[in-house]
A and B are shown apart, each in its own frame.
Chain A
């Protein structure tokens, strides 16, 4: 698994995908947080980072499918899937290696935004007047959300041989999981089920974490959705054996 992880991560670095992702993410977040008048913290006047945590997921919604779209689609198109599957590796090792590499790249892109936290901390009046617990909870939420997006992206890539199709499927799946359920719960005919439907989506749990309260139910939600998506991926990879 470690060997696959390293190979995949090196692949991101060689193919410039990594620099694209990091560059685009940080540029977008930097502009949104500090420059664009509508969302800028400087205009807003409150020392909090909600801009990052509210708009970040939408940026990731497009970036993560871009990272993961090639993971399996490319291997299948090049025929290297056969090579990989005839090496002494289990299907889990391959899936987890690829998942881990994608997640690691997202974390590298996220890490520099900690500087924003430091800036906001210094700008607070008095200095340090910022909801640290809320920020840390939100970071954790963003990390968990990235896990689900990465596993959804890898799943889409394992279904399709075409990278564009994989990208679109992944983006749609991420969108559905992130806000789709939340919006569906607002339908008039769903009133009696509304809370349940809402709880199926990521947003409900993400918001709960961003309040700074790390509830084990939310953690379990994120981990189990990730696990289910990876399990489906592993099953698809193994389906050649049927």
Chain B
């Protein structure tokens, strides 16, 4: 196991930021850590990097406890903190050399490594600029280059794409995908598409507790057990008549003639709706099954407990 979190809790004063969470990451796994703002994502990551200690529970990175073997753990982790803090008065290559030397790298091998990272992160043109003059997207690349410099087997990225424009988001996402081979990656986000684009497994956290930890595909399937169908006819019908149909739980009127029906768990209500329109002699204009996206699942998971 590359990263193990056992019954981790953290309290700030009276506030419970993280409440007894446990999960493990296999080597080479890439996991999305999802949750609304203030759910405890950053706190969990800060504990994992050894920046702050847990109140209870423990975190093992490559079998080493982050509290007792803090210095060793820090060597195997590459960390991109939230808001990506950087020494803005340094030049890009100067900053990367500085970071490398902190890990004991030096001389030609450090120079080569910095060169590789600059190429990998697409910073060739920017490497002789000061960090303060870079755009946010390029700063994020510098942050990633810094996290990857010592070739860490574990990568912790705290909201790597917040505040970027759509093009930059895609670029950073591709970059993460490219570097994540053979690395254990955990990255936090509150953007669903990102998780869908990058990883196979998601851990959803809400109010300090884990509400879901599963393969992405399975999470989506589970969410689909309830059907939501929008149907439109050429003229209005009575809501009561629709509600009486077998398997229909609730009906809401979008506008006269257009209704949204929600099914019972595991029941397909489309045949019943077709039959109904035939019996009533209605002309069917459209029938649309609302796709159950991760967004919906996320909403479902995080709303249910609040």
A: residues with CB less than 8 A from B are: 3, 7, 11, 14-15, 78-83, 85-90, 240-242
Contact = CB atoms under 8 A, between A and B. Distances in A.
Interface stretch (B18-26, B81-89, B173-181): B81-89
Contacts of A89: 102
Interface in B56-113: 71, 74-75, 77, 79, 81, 83, 85-89, 98-99, 101-104
B107 to A, nearest CB: 14
A240 B52 contact: yes
Contact of A88 (B52, B71, B83): B71
Given A240-B52, A241-B52, A86 B85 contact: no
Given A15-B89, A78-B85, A79-B83, A86 B99 contact: no
A83 B98 contact: no
Which 8 residue pairs of A and B lie closest in terms of their CB atoms, listed nearest first? Answer: A79-B85, A87-B102, A3-B101, A88-B74, A80-B85, A86-B49, A82-B81, A88-B75
B50 interface: yes
| Interface SS of A by simple majority | helix
A134 B53 CA distance: 52
Given A78-B88, A79-B81, A80-B86, A86 B51 contact: yes
Contacts of B101: 3
11 contacts: A7-B98, A15-B89, A79-B83, A80-B85, A82-B85, A86-B49, A86-B50, A86-B81, A88-B71, A88-B102, A240-B52
Interface of B: 46, 49-53, 71, 74-75, 77, 79, 81, 83, 85-89, 98-99, 101-104, 146
Given A78-B85, A79-B83, A80-B86, A87 B99 contact: yes
A95 to B, nearest CB: 15
| Interface SS of B by simple majority | loop
A15 B87 CA distance: 12
Given A3-B98, A3-B101, A79-B81, A85 B51 contact: yes
Given A80-B87, A86-B79, A89-B102, 17 more contacts: A7-B98, A14-B89, A15-B89, A78-B88, A79-B83, A82-B46, A82-B51, A82-B85, A83-B79, A86-B49, A86-B51, A86-B74, A86-B77, A87-B103, A88-B71, A88-B103, A88-B104
Contact of B89 (A3, A11, A79): A11
Contacts of B85: 78-83
Contact of A3 (B75, B77, B88, B102): B102
Contacts of A7: 87, 98
